[in-house]
């Protein structure tokens, strides 16, 4: 069975300091620390492209993954809505060339925002299983700095640039699924680009997430006949501290299991879930994880990740 074998990331070194910027937007440092949560917003270099972030994340993955070679990657998916240039050709093709990946590779982009990682896991897993591929890499790289108006308070204090790379293959450490998905295109106006600049109706986005995500997570738990208490951690999209808190409040006894970490990254769109998974879950004793991504569209996706005990391989989970 195909699942997650490893996760790695790249976060640009240069970052904006939100605490020094907040005054110009008429908000307090308290607002940044307690509600937004992001003290730093990493920014890619001016000439750096989305594919460059992707390449750096894949290099990190290769460095930290025993058994994964450049030449053994046979599928590449890049989740982005801000690809290289004007989006044509697809960024995954550019990544293939920049990295010297085999020309026999299957490579395509997935156009989704903050729900993209959860979708991407299922898309790539299903694609690999149906095609008989062995080593897939799922990249998230959606640098919103390309589309942010630095004077817009609604977006300028929120989003950071980052990229992640997840290795999918046989004999995994984590099983993927089951999952639930959702789409509501009536949210189109709440988060969109106009003339290549991002606009956001913060209240509409907040309402959508606060109303839909907790029920979606609870519905998935019902689907898999699992109680909230059996989940070790909830790795949900890190829109802001305020939105994570608003969702976690619906899980009174298990509120503390919601991971909250945007201090040095901000909202990194589809990269936020793999970033916290890499930092807080990999190498920990946590075994049963709920991941949930939600945002632009509106689009949302919630899935289970279950750690496989090492001795499971001897019982035939390969």
CA 249 to chain centroid: 22
> Of the ranges 55-63, 118-126, 138-146, 201-209, which one interacts with other proteins (CB under 8 A)?
201-209
Choice from 48, 129, 245, 261 touching other proteins (CB under 8 A): 245
Contact call for residue 211 and other proteins (CB under 8 A): yes
Separation in Å, CA 15 to CA 39, 58, 83: 9, 21, 21
Choice from 17, 188, 222, 249 touching other proteins (CB under 8 A): 249
Rounded to whole angstroms, how far apart are CA atoms 216 and 222?
10
Contact call for residue 204 and other proteins (CB under 8 A): yes
Q: How far is the CB of 28 from other proteins (least distance, A)?
A: 8
Q: How far is the CB of 53 from other proteins (least distance, A)?
A: 29
Q: CB–CB of 135/74 below 8 Å?
A: yes
Contact call for residue 242 and other proteins (CB under 8 A): yes
Rounded to whole angstroms, how far apart are CA atoms 59 and 167?
12
Count of CB atoms within 10 A of residue 244's CB? Answer: 23
Contact call for residue 254 and other proteins (CB under 8 A): no
Q: Is the peptide bond before 178 cis (omega within 30 degrees of 0)?
A: yes
Q: How far is the CB of 32 from other proteins (least distance, A)?
A: 11
Contact call for residue 152 and other proteins (CB under 8 A): no
Tallying the residues shown for the chain, one arrives at 318
Q: CB–CB of 29/128 below 8 Å?
A: no
Q: Which of residues 19-48 bind other proteins (CB under 8 A)?
A: 27-28, 31, 34-35
Q: CB–CB of 179/304 below 8 Å?
A: yes
Q: How far is the CB of 41 from other proteins (least distance, A)?
A: 17
Choice from 64, 202, 226, 264 touching other proteins (CB under 8 A): 202
Q: How far is the CB of 276 from other proteins (least distance, A)?
A: 20
Q: Residue 31 half-sphere exposure, CB side, CA atoms within 13 Å?
A: 13
Secondary structure of residue 76 in the 3-state scheme = strand
Nearer to other proteins, 106 or 263 (CB): 263
Residues in the site for other proteins, rule: CB under 8 A?
27-28, 31, 34-35, 201-204, 206-207, 210-211, 240, 242, 245-246, 249
């Amino acid at each position: 069975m195909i699942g997650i074998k490893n996760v790695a990331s790249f976060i640009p070194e240069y970052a904006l300091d939100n605490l020094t910027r907040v005054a110009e937007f008429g908000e307090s440092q308290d607002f940044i620390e307690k509600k937004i949560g992001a003290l730093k917003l990493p920014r890619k270099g001016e000439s750096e492209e989305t594919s460059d972030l992707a390449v750096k994340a894949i290099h990190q993955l290769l460095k930290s993954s025993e058994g994964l070679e450049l030449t053994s990657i046979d599928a590449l998916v890049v989740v982005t809505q801000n690809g290289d240039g004007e989006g044509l050709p697809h960024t995954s093709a550019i990544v293939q060339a920049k990295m010297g990946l085999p020309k026999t590779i299957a490579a395509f982009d997935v156009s989704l925002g903050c729900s993209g990682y959860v979708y991407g896991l299922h898309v790539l897993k299903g694609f690999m299983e149906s095609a008989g591929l062995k080593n897939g890499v799922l990249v998230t790289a959606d640098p919103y700095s390309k589309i942010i108006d630095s004077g817009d308070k609604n977006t300028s204090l929120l989003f950071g640039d980052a990229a992640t790379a997840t290795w999918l293959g046989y004999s995994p450490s984590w099983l993927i699924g089951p999952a639930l998905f959702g789409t509501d295109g009536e949210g189109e106006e709440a988060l969109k680009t106009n003339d290549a600049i991002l606009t956001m109706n913060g209240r509409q986005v907040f309402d959508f997430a606060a109303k839909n995500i907790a029920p979606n997570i609870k519905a998935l738990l019902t689907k898999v006949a699992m109680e909230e208490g059996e989940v070790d951690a909830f790795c949900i999209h890190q829109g802001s501290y305020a939105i994570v808190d608003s969702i976690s409040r619906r899980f009174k006894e298990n509120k503390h299991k919601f991971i909250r970490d945007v201090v040095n990254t901000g909202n990194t769109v589809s990269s936020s879930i793999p970033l916290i998974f890499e930092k807080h879950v990999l190498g920990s004793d946590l075994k049963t994880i709920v991941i949930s991504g939600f945002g632009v569209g509106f689009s949302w996706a919630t899935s289970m990740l279950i750690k496989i005990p090492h001795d499971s391989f001897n019982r035939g989970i390969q």
